[in-house]
């Protein structure tokens, strides 16, 4: 259990499902007023309702992170709801399969817009306020493939390597102003529901048999790492890449 984050505010992109949803839940459990975001208004409303039912604070701001304008608009709208953003979690991501010769311009642009361009313009919009207040935390959700490279998901793995470079650059630039920038690199993660539905399927077991952990991770396991990096427990942690991957980066 990390230190409570009572009174803080956070924007979590891609929190209408999967890992982002778990991050929103965990931050709200720690006392953060969370802005849930994604394209799906229905899943956004459901996330907000469930967080509020559990006693947390949340609002939904719909956004499609496909352009700089829509990304800036998300940051401005999120800030107008809570008054300020203390924690930014760049989690939204798309990860289509495709080798170099199969990658269309459309797919490349979709991957880079969501995975690289959106984090850059969100930080550009929100970090000046953090610097002015003398504190803030940015956590980028990367992937174990950023470092290893994945020839069969070339746009995806290269986009996460670009995001890792942004993490380092921002940690150098904004750390002296009190804004810590770090990254969590998940391994293969599946929701509890999908894992339960796939239990006994030999293909699912085979997909992770080579991992030291010999299983998929759970969204909540990634979310706990994000909450740690956003908290004062990580006050001396700048520009770190925290692998939460069942050992995937080792094999």
Going by their DSSP bridges, the two strands 136-141 and 87-90 should be labelled as parallel
Query: Distance (Å, rounded) from C-alpha 172 to C-alpha 63?
Result: 29
Query: Token pair of 150, please?
Result: 């994945």
Q: Which of 92, 83, 34 is nearest to 63 (CA)?
A: 92
Query: Integer distance in angstroms from the first to the last C-alpha of the chain?
Result: 29
| Span 24-53, contacts to ligand NAP by CB under 6 A | 38-40, 43
Q: Is 189 in the site for ligand NAP (CB under 6 A)?
A: yes
Q: Which of 129, 178, 188, 239 binds ligand NAP (CB under 6 A)?
A: 188
Distance CA 13, CA 122 (A): 10
The site for ligand NAP, by CB under 6 A, has a size of 26
* Structure-block tokens of residue 55: 């006693």
Residues 6+ apart with CB under 8 A from 74: 11, 13, 37, 61, 63, 65, 122
Does 186 interact with ligand NAP (rule: CB under 6 A)?
yes
Residue 71 as a binder of ligand NAP (CB under 6 A): the answer is: no
User: Smallest distance, Å, CB 187 to ligand NAP?
Assistant: 6
27's tokens: 């931050």
| 85-118 burial code (b ≥16 CB/10 A, e <16) | bbbbbbbbbbbeebeeeebeeebbeebbbbbbbb
Q: Which is nearer to ligand NAP, 152 or 232 (CB)?
A: 152
Eight-state DSSP code of residue 153: B
Q: Does the protein bind ligand NAP through residue 19 (CB under 6 A)?
A: yes
Q: Kindly state the smallest distance separating residue 52's Cβ from ligand NAP, in Å.
A: 19
Determine which residue in the list 138, 141, 229, 230 makes contact with ligand NAP, applying CB under 6 A.
141
Q: Which of 16, 157, 183, 243 binds ligand NAP (CB under 6 A)?
A: 16
112 is catalytic: no
Query: Least distance from C-beta 129 to ligand NAP, angstroms?
Result: 22
Does 93 contact ligand NAP by CB under 6 A?
yes
Residues 6 or more apart in contact with residue 214 via CB below 8 angstroms: 208, 246
Give the residue with the Cβ less far from ligand NAP, 127 or 146: 146
Query: Does residue 243 interact with ligand NAP by CB under 6 A?
Result: no
Altogether, the residues listed in the chain come to a count of 251
User: Least Å distance between CB 172 and ligand NAP?
Assistant: 23
Taking CB under 6 A as the binding criterion, the range among 49-57, 62-70, 130-138, 227-235 that sits at the site for ligand NAP is: 62-70
Residues with catalytic annotation? 156
- Which stretches of the chain bind ligand NAP, using CB under 6 A? 14-20, 38-40, 43, 63-66, 91-95, 114, 141, 143, 186, 188-189
């Amino acid at each position: 259990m990390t230190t409570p984050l009572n009174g803080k505010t956070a924007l979590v992109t891609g929190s209408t499902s999967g890992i982002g949803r778990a991050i929103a839940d965990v931050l709200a459990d720690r006392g953060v007023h969370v802005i849930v975001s994604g394209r799906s208004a229905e899943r956004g409303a459901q996330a907000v309702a469930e967080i509020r039912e559990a006693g947390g604070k949340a609002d939904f701001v719909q956004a499609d992170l496909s352009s700089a304008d829509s990304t800036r608009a998300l940051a401005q709208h999120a800030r107008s709801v809570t008054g300020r953003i203390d924690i930014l979690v760049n989690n939204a991501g798309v990860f289509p399969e495709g080798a170099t010769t199969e990658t269309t311009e459309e797919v490349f642009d979709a991957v880079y817009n969501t995975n690289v361009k959106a984090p850059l313009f969100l930080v550009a919009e929100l970090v000046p306020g953090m610097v002015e207040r003398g504190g803030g935390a940015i956590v980028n959700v990367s992937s174990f493939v950023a470092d290893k490279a994945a020839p069969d998901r070339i746009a995806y793995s290269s986009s996460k390597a670009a995001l890792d470079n942004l993490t380092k650059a921002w940690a150098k630039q904004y750390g002296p102003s009190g804004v810590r920038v770090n990254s969590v690199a998940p391994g293969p993660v599946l929701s509890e529901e999908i894992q339960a539905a796939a239990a006994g399927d030999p293909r699912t077991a085979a997909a992770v048999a080579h991992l030291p952990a010999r299983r998929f991770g759970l969204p909540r396991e990634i979310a706990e790492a994000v909450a740690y990096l956003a908290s004062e427990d990580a006050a001396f942690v700048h520009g770190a890449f925290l692998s939460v991957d069942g050992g995937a980066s080792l094999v």
